[in-house]
Amino acid sequence: MYSFETQLRVRYGETDQMGYLYYGNYAQFYEVGRVETMRSLGMSYKTLETDYGILMPVMSMQVRYVRPAFYDDLLTIKTTIRHFPEKTITFYSEIFNEQKKLINGGEVKLCFVDAATKKTIPVPEVIYNPLLPYFETI
């Protein structure tokens, strides 16, 4: 299992009329968590696409709304890869407020696609190798 945390502050334009973080923005917060998790493993989405020709489209997303976030809240996005990827990879997200209370949770499943052929492929080595040490049994 591999986990990484990053923080993000709720901006005014991300809130709705009630002052809550607009529900549709959680998908973008999940994406921030995924991108920073990948970066923490030494890879970036940009490099995957431009240097390796690998795309990672979203296949499904599930969201749980627990409590609201508000303008100027500093949120912690914890992103976890619980299972070693094979044909797909699932990122589990938990978003916490400054009081360390869970406000939202979800999961996003992605597959790997060869940019040239537009066909799905197994987990590429560039993703496989950095994740392997976190899933090897002792």
Q: What is the pLDDT of residues 64-82, one digit of tens each?
A: 999 999 999 999 999 999 9
Averaged over 117-126, what is the pLDDT? 96
Q: What is the three-state SS of 8-34?
A: EECCHHHECCCCEECHHHHHHHHHHHH
Output Rg (C-alpha) for the chain, integer angstroms: 16
Q: What is the pLDDT of residues 8-65, one digit of tens each?
A: 999 999 999 999 999 999 999 999 999 999 999 999 999 999 999 999 999 999 999 9
Residue 138, pLDDT > 80, answer no
- pLDDT bin (cut points 50, 70, 90) of residue 137 is low
User: What confidence score (pLDDT) does residue 136 get?
Assistant: 79
CATH class, domain 2-134, is alpha beta
DSSP 34-75: HHHHHHHTT--HHHHHHTT-EE--EEEEEEEE-S--BTT-EE
Task: Enumerate the domain spans of the chain.
Answer: 2-134
Averaged over 80-97, what is the pLDDT? 97
User: What confidence score (pLDDT) does residue 79 get?
Assistant: 98
Residue 115, pLDDT > 70, answer yes
